[in-house]
A and B are shown apart, each in its own frame.
Chain A
Amino acid sequence: MKHRASRLILLLVLGACSGDRAPLIATDVAVSKPKPGMRVAAGYITLSNNTTETITITRVTSPEFKSVEMHESILEDGISRMYPLDEVTIPAGQNVAFEPGGKHLMLMNPTSDADSATLEFYADNVLLLSVNATFAD
Chain B
Amino acid sequence: MGPRNTFIAIVAVGAIGTGAWLSSMVMQPAPRLQTATVLPAPSELPEFSLVDQNRLSIGRDYFEGHWNLVFFGFTHCPDICPLTLQVLANAKRQLAADGQQPLPRIVLVSVDPERDTPEVMSQYVRYFGDDNIGITGTLDEIRKLTGGLGIFFEKSGLDEVDYSVDHSAVVIVINPRGQFHALFGAPHEAGNFVHDLPIIMGGR
Q: Is the CB of A40 within 8 A of B78?
A: yes
B164 proximal to A (CB < 8 A): yes
- The residue among A35, A73, A79, A101 with the most chain B CB atoms within 10 A of its own CB is A35
Query: Which of B127, B169, B185 interacts with A36 by CB under 8 Å?
Result: B127
Give a binary string over B122-141; 1 marks a CB under 8 Å from any A CB, 0 the rest. 01101100000000000000
Q: How many chain A residues touch B (Cβ–Cβ < 8 Å)? A: 24
**Across the two chains, which residue of chain B brings its CB closest to A81?**
B166
CA gap between A82 and B167 in the complex, in Å: 10
At the interface, is chain A mostly helix, strand, loop or mixed?
strand
Inter-chain CB contacts under 8 Å: number: 71
Q: Which of A12-50 contact B (CB under 8 A)?
A: 32, 35-42
A42 touches B79 (CB 8 A): yes
* A38-B166 contact given A32-B82, A101-B83, A104-B79, CB 8 Å threshold: no
Q: Cβ of A80 and Cβ of B169 under 8 Å apart?
A: yes
For residue B3, CB closer than 8 A to chain A, the reply is no
Q: Is the CB of A40 within 8 A of B166?
A: no
The contact size tier of chain B is 20 to 34
- Interface mask (A97-116 → B, CB under 8 Å = 1, otherwise 0): 00011001011100000000
A78 near B82 with CB under 8 A, answer: no
Q: A38 → chain B, closest Cβ, in Å? A: 6
A40-74 CB contacts (< 8 Å) to partner B: 40-42, 71, 73
> Contact at A75–B186, with CB atoms within 8 Å?
yes
* Given A38-B124, A82-B166, A100-B83, A75 and B187 contact (CB-CB distance below 8 Å): yes
Q: Are B75 and A35 within 8 A (Cβ)?
A: yes
Say whether A84 faces chain B, with CB atoms less than 8 Å apart.
Answer: yes
Query: What residue in chain B is nearest A72 (Cβ atoms)?
Result: B79
Bound CA–CA A80/B156 (angstroms): 11
Chain B stretch 154-174: residues in CB contact (< 8 A) with chain A: 156-157, 162, 164, 166-170
Give the chain B neighbours of A38 by CB distance below 8 A: 75-76, 123-124
CB atoms of A42 and B170 under 8 A apart: no
- Interface pair B78/A36, CB less than 8 Å apart: no
**Which parts of B182-200 form the interface with A (CB within 8 Å)?**
185-187
Q: Which residues of B contact A40 (CB under 8 A)?
A: 76, 78
Can you list the 8 inter-chain pairs with the closest CB atoms, starting with the nearest? A37-B123, A42-B78, A80-B169, A36-B123, A81-B166, A80-B80, A82-B164, A73-B79
Residue contacts A-B, CB under 8 angstroms, 6 given: A32-B78, A38-B76, A78-B186, A82-B164, A101-B80, A108-B162
